[in-house]
């Protein structure tokens, strides 16, 4: 920053915004006057330099006042009566935040939400038809190479006593997922999967990621459980969608607008998904696939691999993808990018090297969110990357301001989740 020295020997230092934020790309003697090699716990907003707010985790996950299992996701949805519900997943259960219980623990157990303990598998969720829908799959491997949890899709509408994660099919067979194939149709549907496996059925379907487009729920990076044999088939490049307007119908034998695409022509695997307006984007390790609606019930989507190569811009950290309205952001091998309907733009800027240095030192997987406000009346649209750094005892948040296009660092003393500074979902820090 420029320093002014008066004739009497007094001096002053002027801080002039707007600020460029952190610059880890250049030698310190070449950094611009309105940038800094490093600073911590400051906000750069509207050409102002201010200390950040004192952020807390009001849900107390990982401490004695909350569920003892790691928090696997947190979101808010509105039911058909206009009532808002803030829910979290932990273990095999769904909890609802209830401030009326304060000063006691502000949690109300809704009920069992999964076919077993989800351990540290992050939940992917989506509000649809005034209900919250969520998914998990056998992504992590436990002792003796056994899956931690069977794949499933669940839902809760805010009105029923407990969540639903099983479904009675048309032939009276029961699938262990709301996304399932009845016993009768399982052999034909299973036989059309990659490798044409011989299945008994019924089939339970789950995924690592869940989205919605064209009034259809979409699972990505899919696993399928053959309940007859107990065998789980993993299809990391597959997406599977429900029938149009029918979130409980996933069987293409019963409704032609339901179906799946295994993406056999790409060499990597799906690491996330967002939908922006009339189009969706499926992120892979080394590429992005755009899909859009066709207006046809038989083939409801068209797919365009923006690139399908062994090397290329993709998403390498699955839960670094975040979306708010028409904006999305993600981390690739070479930079951090924002994504709009028409283009992708690198936003790492002069902070890129510092961000990637912290990512390489992370003690567990990082997570990200796009946060529009910090409190009512305080608009601050930011992309926030949360990086657990056990060696420092903090979760480091790299904050990108979409308005000012700069980066800053906040070191958050969040309650560990679980106690070894391992994040299992993006923390609630507002």
User: 166-191, pLDDT tens digit by residue?
Assistant: 999 999 999 999 999 999 999 999 99
Confidence of residue 5 (pLDDT cuts 50, 70, 90): low
**Mean pLDDT for all residues in the chain:** 86
Give the residue with greater pLDDT, 149 vs 155: 155
- What is the pLDDT, as a whole number, of residue 40? 92
- What is the pLDDT, as a whole number, of residue 353? 95
pLDDT at 429 over 60: no
Write down how long the chain is: 430
Cβ count near 9 (within 10 Å): 6
Give the residue with greater pLDDT, 366 vs 1: 366
Exposure of 99 by Cβ count < 10 A (0-12 exposed, 13-18 middle, 19+ buried)?
exposed
Lowest mean pLDDT among 149-158, 197-206, 251-260, 299-308: 299-308
pLDDT at 251 over 60: yes
Give the residue with greater pLDDT, 112 vs 102: 112
Lowest mean pLDDT among 57-71, 110-124, 352-366: 57-71
Q: Residue range 99-105: average pLDDT? A: 76
- 129 vs 72: CA distance, rounded Å: 22
Cβ pair 153, 165 in contact under 8 A: yes
Q: Residue range 126-148: average pLDDT? A: 78
- What is the pLDDT, as a whole number, of residue 246? 96
Cβ count near 193 (within 10 Å): 17
Q: How far is Cα of residue 48 from the mean position of the Cα atoms in its chain? A: 31
Q: How far is Cα of residue 22 from the mean position of the Cα atoms in its chain? A: 26
Cβ count near 156 (within 10 Å): 24
- 300 vs 185: CA distance, rounded Å: 21
Domain ranges of the chain: 69-315
pLDDT at 309 over 70: no
């Amino acid at each position: 920053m420029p320093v002014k020295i008066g004739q009497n020997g007094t001096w002053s230092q002027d801080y002039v915004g707007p600020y460029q934020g952190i610059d880890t790309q250049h030698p310190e003697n070449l950094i611009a006057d309105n940038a800094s090699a490093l600073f911590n716990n400051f906000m750069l907003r509207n050409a102002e330099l201010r200390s950040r707010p004192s952020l807390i985790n009001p849900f107390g996950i990982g401490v004695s006042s909350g569920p003892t299992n790691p928090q696997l996701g947190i979101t808010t949805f509105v039911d058909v009566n206009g009532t808002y519900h803030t829910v979290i997943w932990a273990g095999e259960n769904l909890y609802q935040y209830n401030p009326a219980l304060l000063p006691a623990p502000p949690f109300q157990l809704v009920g069992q939400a999964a076919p077993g303990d989800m351990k540290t598998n992050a939940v992917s969720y989506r509000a649809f038809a005034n209900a919250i829908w969520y998914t998990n799959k056998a992504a992590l491997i436990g002792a003796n190479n056994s899956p931690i949890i069977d794949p499933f899709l669940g839902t809760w509408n805010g009105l029923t006593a407990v969540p639903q994660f099983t479904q009675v099919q048309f032939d009276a067979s029961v699938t262990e997922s709301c996304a399932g194939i009845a016993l009768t149709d399982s052999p034909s549907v299973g036989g059309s999967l990659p490798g044409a496996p011989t299945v008994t059925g019924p089939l339970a379907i789950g995924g690592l990621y869940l989205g919605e487009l064209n009034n259809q729920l979409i699972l990505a990076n899919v696993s399928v459980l053959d309940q007859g044999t107990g065998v789980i088939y993993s299809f990391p490049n597959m997406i599977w969608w429900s029938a149009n307007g029918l979130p409980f119908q996933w069987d293409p034998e019963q409704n032609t607008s339901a179906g799946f695409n295994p993406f056999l022509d790409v060499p990597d695997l799906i690491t996330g998904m967002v939908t922006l307006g009339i189009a969706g984007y499926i992120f892979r390790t080394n590429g992005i696939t755009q899909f859009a609606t066709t207006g046809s019930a038989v083939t409801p989507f068209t797919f365009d691999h923006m690139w399908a190569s062994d090397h290329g811009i993709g998403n390498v950290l699955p839960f670094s993808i975040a979306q708010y309205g028409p904006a999305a952001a993600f981390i690739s091998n070479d930079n951090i990018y924002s994504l709009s309907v028409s283009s992708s733009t690198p936003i790492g800027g002069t902070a890129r090297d510092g961000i990637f240095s912290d990512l390489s030192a992370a003690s567990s997987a990082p997570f990200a969110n796009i946060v529009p406000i910090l409190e009512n009346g305080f608009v601050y649209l930011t992309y926030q990357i949360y990086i657990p750094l056990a060696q420092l005892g903090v979760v480091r948040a790299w904050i990108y301001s979409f308005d000012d296009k700069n980066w800053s660092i906040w070191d958050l003393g969040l309650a560990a989740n679980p106690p070894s500074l391992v994040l299992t979902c993006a923390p609630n820090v507002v």
